[in-house]
Each structure stands twice: as C-alpha cells, then as structure tokens.
C-alpha cells in the first residue's frame, strides 16, 4: 500500500503526520518505508527527508540499505514550488520508488506544500497520487483560515473523484473556539488523538 501525505498548505504538519504514521503502522506489525519525492529549500541536506528516514530506519532496519538520496531523489535549493525551483526528473523518482517499495509493506510518500503546488508546468502535487497509485491522507492545520482551506480541498477532491482520509493537526488550541463549531459537522479526526483510527481507515482493521 502507498499513502500520499498532503496538506492544505506548507507548514501545516505533513512531516509531523508522516512521523506519527510511521509509528502507528509499525506498532501494528507493518514494515514501513518513507519517501519525499521532491524537497525544496535544501542546502546541506534535506531536513524533512532526514527526519523521515531516521525515524523509519528505527522501525524498519531494511531501510539501512538506502541513502538519503533514495528517500529524497529531487533536492532543490530555492524555497519555492518545484516548477520554479528547478527541474524534476521523474525517472529518478521512479528509480528511488522501486528501491524503497521492495523493502516495505506500506510506503508513506510526503508531498511538498499543498495539492496544487506545481511540480512542472503540467504536473501538480496531486498528480503524484495517480503516479504512485496511492491513497491520500490530507492534513489540515488548525490555524485560523482552516475552514476555507478545508472546504476548498474537499470541493476539489470530490470534483475530481479522489478518495481521501483527512485529519486536523491540532497545533492551535483556539481551534475549538474558532473552527470546530463549524468543522464538527464533518466529523473531523484529530491527529494527536485519533492516530489509531486514522491508521485503521487505511488498513481496514
């Protein structure tokens, strides 16, 4: 199984959510792999990719045969959308994917930014879902403005017939006062409280 992790924007908790999913799936006996196909703002090393790699290796020693360049095949310096930051080599991404996939039961693939971040002029972050034949996990950061972000993402995904699991990343306690009164009718899962439920939505256990 492949799971693509996206969010309503940058800085909303994709890496945090992916780290939590590594632990949750590993606890349930799955061998978990990780990948971040494209990371921008890379100077010395890919910071998000390194966090994912180091954590995943603790639970799945088979990943020790890989390098950080396998986990993050495309590393770009400019802190911008990949389409702006540089060239993306999809064959290189496929090569890394094939190496990692054989070492795991569940592969967690973290995107960059939100669903419609352009990777090239014609390929957007959301297109990685089909590229990897993945299921989608959408993280919605709990800050002010999340209602609009959630509804826009919901509208787009349903219009495109893309199934998804979503959860609120609760980093702002004011969420319960300013956003939850509206969001609650959509039965949100909270990443910090409902991790097991989130994992089971993917595995069907």
Pairing mode of beta strands 189-190, 74-75: unpaired
Active site residue 57: no
As to burial, measured by CB atoms within 10 angstroms (0-12 exposed, 13-18 middle, 19+ buried), residue 38 is buried
How many CA atoms within 13 Å lie on the side-chain side of 69?
3
Sorted by sequence, the CB contacts under 8 Å of residue 188 that are 6+ apart come out as 140, 166, 167, 168, 180
Tens digit of pLDDT per residue, the chain (205 long)? 999 999 988 877 899 999 999 999 999 999 999 999 999 999 988 999 999 999 999 999 999 999 999 999 999 999 999 999 999 999 999 999 999 999 999 999 999 999 999 999 999 999 999 999 999 999 999 988 999 999 999 999 999 999 999 999 998 889 999 999 999 999 999 999 999 999 999 998 6
Output the six-digit token pair for 47: 């910071």
Question: Packing angle between helix 14-27 and helix 195-203, nearest 10 degrees?
Answer: 70
Catalytic annotation, pick one of 14, 20, 36, 143:
36
At residue 41, the pLDDT reads 92
At residue 12, the pLDDT reads 79
For the stretch 17-52, pLDDT in tens is 999 999 999 999 999 999 999 999 999 889 999 999
Structural domains in the chain?
Answer: 2-203 (3.40.50.300)
Residue with tokens 């299921």: 135
Sorted by sequence, the CB contacts under 8 Å of residue 142 that are 6+ apart come out as 168, 169, 170, 171, 172, 175, 179
Across the strands, what pairs with 107? Answer: 2, 33
Reported pTM: 0.95
């Amino acid at each position: 199984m492949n799971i693509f992790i996206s969010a309503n924007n940058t800085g909303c908790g994709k890496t945090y959510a992916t780290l939590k999913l590594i632990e949750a799936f590993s606890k349930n006996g799955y061998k978990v792999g990780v990948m971040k196909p494209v990371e921008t703002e890379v100077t010395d090393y890919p910071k998000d990719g390194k966090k994912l790699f180091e954590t995943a290796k603790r639970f799945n020693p088979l990943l020790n045969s890989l390098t950080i360049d396998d986990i993050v095949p495309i590393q770009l310096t400019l802190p911008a959308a990949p389409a702006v930051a540089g060239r993306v080599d999809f064959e290189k991404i496929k090569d890394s994917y094939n190496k990692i996939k054989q070492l795991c039961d569940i592969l967690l693939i973290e995107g960059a930014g939100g669903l419609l971040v352009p990777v090239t002029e014609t390929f957007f972050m959301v297109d990685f879902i089909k590229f990897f034949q993945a299921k989608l996990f959408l993280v919605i950061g709990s800050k002010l403005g999340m209602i609009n972000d959630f509804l826009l993402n919901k509208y787009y995904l349903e219009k495109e017939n893309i199934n998804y699991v979503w959860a609120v990343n609760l980093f702002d306690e004011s969420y319960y006062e300013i956003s939850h009164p509206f969001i609650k009718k959509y039965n949100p899962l909270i990443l910090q409280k409902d991790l097991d439920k989130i994992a089971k939505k993917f595995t069907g256990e």
